[in-house]
């Protein structure tokens, strides 16, 4: 029984490390619009704010067809979209259609 728990813990831990280290994963935020108008993406190394990351097409991870996006949430509860943190951060971007910057 304890061996199974250890194996599961290692798999979960590896997945978390991959997300934190910038593994390039992106996913639909299930708590948002099911029409894929909101995506949570990682890959921002923290040198720019989530505002800038979303407005700049999220490092190429946001659909070009969106024709613009804005940040609606950063990956940390007390960090606003307007702040860069100097480390990897998950950004939640929403389609705007107002053009890419």
Distances (CA, A) of 58 to 6, 11, 24, 62, 63: 36, 28, 11, 6, 9
Q: 0.75 exceeded by the pTM?
A: no
pLDDT in tens, 69-90: 999 999 988 899 999 888 999 9
Residue ranges of the domains in the chain?
Answer: 2-95
* C-alpha distance from residue 49 to each of 12, 35, 37, 100 (Å): 28, 25, 20, 15
Residue range 24-69, pLDDT digits in tens: 444 444 444 446 799 999 899 999 999 999 999 999 999 999 999 9
CB atoms within 10 A of CB 101: 11
């Amino acid at each position: 029984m304890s061996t199974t728990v250890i194996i599961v813990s290692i798999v979960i831990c590896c997945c978390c490390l991959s997300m934190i280290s910038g593994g390039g994963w992106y996913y639909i935020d299930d708590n948002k619009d099911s029409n894929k108008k909101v995506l949570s993406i990682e890959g921002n190394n923290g040198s720019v704010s989530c505002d800038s990351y979303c407005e700049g097409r999220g490092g190429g991870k946001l659909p070009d067809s969106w024709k613009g996006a804005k940040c609606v949430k950063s990956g940390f509860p007390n960090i606003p979209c307007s702040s860069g943190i100097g480390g990897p951060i998950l950004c939640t971007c929403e389609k705007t259609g107002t053009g890419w910057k």
